[in-house]
Structure 1
Amino acid sequence: MLLCSCFGNVAQAADKPAYGAELEGFNYPWPVAQYAFQSQQQSLHMAYMDLQPAKANGHTVVLLHGKNFCGATWEATARSLSEAGYRVVMPDQIGFCKSSKPRAYQYSFQQLAQNTQALLASLSIDKAIIMGHSTGGMLATRYSLMYPKQTEQLVLVNPIGLEDWKAKGVPYIGVDGWYQRELKVTDERIRNYERNTYYAGEWRPAYEKWVQMLAGMYRGPGKEIVAWNSALLYDMIYSQPVYYELAQIQVPTLLLIGEKDTTAPGKDLASAADRAKLGNYPVLAREAAARIPGAALVLFPDYGHAPQMQAPAEFHQALLAHLLPHQ
C-alpha cells in the first residue's frame, strides 16, 4: 500500500506540462521583472524577483540558483529571509529558466557574474550577501573573487566546484556530447538522478514540482534551444573550475553542507574507480573550509544536495544564526 501511495503521488503531481523555452506557463511565487541589457553584441533579458521585506534590516541577499534549479526554487528560503528583514533578489541566469537562451553565447562564470553585477547596479544595490547553491555556488564564488567590495558575505550551499572533475577522471565530451545527452532529458531521468545523487535514495512528493518545472521545458516547442544552452552551460561547468582559487576569497564565507550529497557533474562518464572518488562531500566540505580564509562550516549529516529543501526549518535556523548582521 505504501509503494502504491508513493507512485500515486508522483503520477498525480506529474501532469506532463510543456513549457516554453523561457519557462512560459510556469508561475513563480512573486512577480517577475526583466532586466534588459546588451551582451556579446546581442540584446538579452534576465528574469528576476525582488522581494521587499515588511521591516527592512538594511541588508540584501542575492540568491543564485543551481544548474537544475531556478530562482523560484528558492521560495522557502526567500520567505524566511524576508521575514527576518532582508531584501531578497532572485535572478534566473542567462541560459536558464525565464531568461534569454541565445543560440550563440560565450558562457563563463565571469560573464554571468558580470551580468549579475549589472543587474544589481540597475537596482541601486551597492553591496549584498551573495548566496549560491550547487552551480550557483560556483558563480557566487566567482562573483566574490571579481567583486569583493560589493560582496558583504559569501554563502555557499552544497556548491559544486569543490573539486576539479576533469583532473579526477571525468572525460571531455564537448558541447556536442552534452547536447546529445540533454536531448534525452525526461522527468523520469531527472527524478532518478536527483533521488540517487541529491537525496541518497529518498524522494518526497514536494520535490516533484521542481522536476516538472525543469522537464516541462524539454517537452515544449523550444526544447532544442533549451538543450543547446544547457550543453553550453555544462561545458562551462566542466572546463572552468573555481577550486584552485578558494584560498583567494577575501570576504566572510559561510558553507552550509548536506553531507549525504554525492553530486559531481559527468560522474557517470568516469571509470568505476574514479567515480567512487568523486562527490565525497564530507571530505570536500572540510577541505574547502580549510582552504577559504576564516570560513565557517555548518554540516547537515542527514541531508543531501539541497538541505534548504529537505529540512527548511533546520536549515533556515542555521542560516540566520550565521548570516550578517546577526553573527
Structure 2
Amino acid sequence: MDWRGAFVLAMGLAMFAGEARADAMLKDFPYPHPVREFVFTSQGQPLTMVYMDIAPAGTPNGKTAVLFHGKNFCGATWEGVIAPLATAGYRVVVPDQIGFCRSTKPAAYQMSLHQLGANTHALLDSIGVTRPILVGHSMGGMLAARYALSFPAATAALVLVNPIGLEDWSAKGVPPSTIDELIEGERKTTAESIKAYQQKTYYDGRWRPEFDRWVEMLASMYQGPGSDSVVLSQARASDMIFSQPVVHEFPRLAVPTLLLIGEKDTTAIGKNRASPEVAKILGNYPELAREAESRIKGARLIAFPKLGHAPHIEEPEAFNAALLDALTSLPSTP
C-alpha cells in the first residue's frame, strides 16, 4: 500500500471512529436488521449468541435460510443477501457465532466446528426452525458442512459459498502452528494489514471503496477494550479451521448441495508458513471446486470466473440472481 492508500484508509477509519467507538463486541457497528440474543449454557458457562431473524418480506414460502459468516466476517456482512432472500419469501436467520463479532468471546472455551454447529442447532430449536437451508461462506462453509454432517435430519439443503477447507492443508504439507504462535500473529493485525490481505487474496488485486466498511468492522474489534478476547478467539478459530478438516467427509453429505465459487479466490490457511513449493499448489479454487462437486453426491457447481472469495459482497446482484435461481431447483422442503 502506498502513502495515498494508507492515508485514505486512515481517514476512513477516523471517520468510522467518530461514529462508532472501537469495541470488541461491535456494539456501535450498525447491523442491517435488529439483533436478538440467545442466552444458553455451554461448557459450564453462560453465553450469549447474537442473531438477526428476518421475516419474509414477500409471500412466505415456508422455508428458512440460515447464513453462516466466515472467520474475518460477521453476520452483518450478509446484508446484501438478506433482503433478496426475504423478498423471495424466505425467513432468514443470521447468527454471530460464539467467539465472533457481537457474541460472547469466552476466555476459556474448546472451540470446534461441531460445538459451534451444536450451538447454532440449539438457537434454531429455540426459535422453531427445524429444517433450514444452510448457507455458509468461508469458515462458515466448513461450519455449515459440519452442521449438515452432524444434523442431517435437521438440514434441508447446503449452500457453500467459497468455503475454506476444500483441501486439507496439513495433508498437503503445511506445518502446524501453536495457539501461542497464532496469538502473536493476530496481535499484529491492523486495518492496513487486513486490507492488504483481502485485496491480494480475496479480490485478485482489485478494490472498491464499499469494501472498506468491512475492513473497518474487523479492524475495530482489534482496538480498544476487549481486544485481547478477539485475538484469542481468532487464534482459536485459525487452529480449529486448520486441525478439523471436513473435506474427507464430503462423500457422507446426504443433503442437496450447491457450490457457489468465485474462481479468483486464493485463500489457503497456513500458506504463509508453507514452503514455496507447497504454497504454490494451495488455494486453487477452480480445481478444488470441481473436486468437491465430484465428491458430494448430487452437488451442483455454479462458478463465477471473475470473482473472488466473497462473491456476495463483490457482485451482489449477480450472486443473488444465481443463488435464488439455484434454490428454486432444490427439492421441496417442509
Q: TM-score, normalised by structure 2?
A: 0.94
Once residues 167 and 185 of structure 1 are traced to their aligned partners in structure 2, the CA distance between those partners, rounded to angstroms, is 27
Aligned to 2:289: 285
Kept after mapping to 1: 8 A contact 2:9/2:192: no
- For residues 179 and 315 of structure 2, the distance between their equivalents in structure 1, rounded to whole angstroms, comes to 35
Matched, 1:124 2:128: yes
Q: Would you say the 8 A contact 2:260–2:302 is kept in 1?
A: yes
Match in the other structure for 2:138: 134
Is 1:34 matched up with 2:37? yes
Cα offsets for 1:94-126 (capped at 9, x unmatched): 000000000110010000000000000000111
Report matched runs for 1:162-181 at 5 Å. Answer: 162-181=166-185
2:66 maps to which of 41, 54, 62: 62
1:93 aligns with 2:97: yes
- Equivalent of 1:239 in 225, 243, 249: 243
Most deviating of 161-170 and 35-44: 161-170
1:104 aligns with 2:108: yes
CA, structure 1 residues 283+137, in 2 after alignment: closer, same or farther (shift >3 Å)? same
C-alpha contact 2:24 2:223 (8 A) present in aligned 1:
no
* Structure 2 counterparts to residues 1-327 of structure 1, below 5 A: 10-15=9-14, 17=17, 18-54=21-57, 55-324=59-328
Q: Which moved more, 1:159-168 or 1:317-326?
A: 317-326
Equivalent residues, number: 325
1:233 deviates by 1.0
The code of the aligned residue for 1:176 comes to D
AA aligned to 1:117 is H
Q: Deviations along 1:217-257, whole A, 9 cap, x unmatched?
A: 10121111110111111111110000100010000000000
The answer to whether the Cα contact below 8 Å between 1:320 and 1:326 also exists between their aligned partners in 2 is no
| Greater Cα offset, 15-24 or 35-44 | 15-24
* Distance in 2 between residues matched to 1:183 and 1:279, nearest whole Å: 25
2:147 and 2:328 mapped to 1: Cα distance?
Answer: 18
Identity of aligned residues (%): 54
Distance in 1 between residues matched to 2:7 and 2:227, nearest whole Å: 27
Equivalent residue letter for 1:59 = K
Provide structure 1 residue ranges, at least 5 long, that are not aligned to the other structure.
none
Q: Give the drift of 1:14.
A: 2.2
Gaps of 5+ in 2: none
CA RMSD of the aligned region, Å? 1.6
Cα 1:84–1:69 change in 2 (3 A) is same
TM-score (norm 1): 0.96
1:138, CA displacement in angstroms?
A: 0.1
Please give the alpha-carbon distance, in whole angstroms, between the structure 1 residues aligned to 2:153 and 2:239. Answer: 29
What whole-Å deviation, never above 9, does each CA across 1:158-179 have from its counterpart, x for those lacking one?
0000000111122111111110
- The Cα shift of 1:46 comes to 0.2
